[in-house]
Amino acid sequence: MKLQNRFLVPISILILAGMAALSFISYTNSKKEIQQAMEGYVEHVAELLVQALDDYLISAVEDIEIWSDRDVYREVFSDTVTNSSELASKALFDLRKKVPQFEIIAVADTLGRLIKLTIENDLNAENANHLSYRRIKEAKFYFFVLSKPQK
C-alpha cells in the first residue's frame, strides 16, 4: 500500500464507528423521549377517564336525589314493590302527559337497569331492558330510581 492509502481504512473505520456511536446515542435519547411522551399520554387519558366517570357518578347521584323526591317516584316504587304493574304503568303514562316533550319515561334502579318504561315507538321491552342508565340519560329520557344512594 502506498502511504496515502495506508490511512484510508483506519480513518474509514473511525468515521463509521463514530457514526454508529452517534446513532446509538440518538436512538437511546429518542427512545427515552418517546417512552416519556407515551407515559404522559397514558396518564392524561387515565385522568380524563377518571374525570368522566366522576362526572357520570355525580350526574347519576343528582338525578337520583331529584327524582326520588317526586310523588310519581313514590307511586311507582310502591306499585313496583307490590307487583302492581298496571298501576305503575298508569303512573308513568300520567307523567308522560305532564312532560310531553319526552317520548319515553323510564323507571330504573340505581344501577341503571330499567324496571318500567312507557313505550310508544318501536322500542320493545326486550331491548329496553338492555339500555343502560347512560344511554337513557344521553337520549334525554326521564329517569326515576327505586332507592337513594347511601351518603
The 10s digit of each residue's pLDDT in 44-91 is: 999 999 888 888 877 766 766 676 666 666 666 655 555 555 666 666
First to last CA, the chain: 91
Confidence at residue 127, expressed as pLDDT on a 0 to 100 scale: 47
Name, in order, each residue with C-beta under 8 angstroms of 118's C-beta and a sequence gap of 6 or more: 89, 92, 93, 96, 104, 105, 106
Confidence (pLDDT) at 57: 77
pLDDT for 84 equals 58
Mean per-residue pLDDT, 117-141: 45
The full DSSP string for the chain is --HHHHTHHHHHHHHHHHHHHHHHHHHHHHHHHHHHHHHHHHHHHHHHHHHHHHHHHHHHHHHHHHHHTSHHHHHHHHHHHTT-HHHHHHHHHHHHHHSTT-S-EEEE-TT--EEEE---SS--HHHHTT--HHHHHHTT-EEE-SSPPP-
Q: How far apart are CA 131 and CA 145, in angstroms?
A: 15
Q: By mean pLDDT, which of 16-20, 25-29, 119-123 is the weakest?
A: 119-123
102 has a pLDDT exceeding 60: no
Residues whose CB is less than 8 angstroms from the CB of residue 89 and which lie 6 or more positions away in sequence, other chains included: 116, 118
Contact 103, 63 (CB under 8 A): no
pLDDT at 31: 92
pLDDT, tens digit, 9 for 90 and up, residues 107-126: 665 555 555 555 544 344 44
In the predicted structure, residue 7 carries a pLDDT above the cut 50: yes
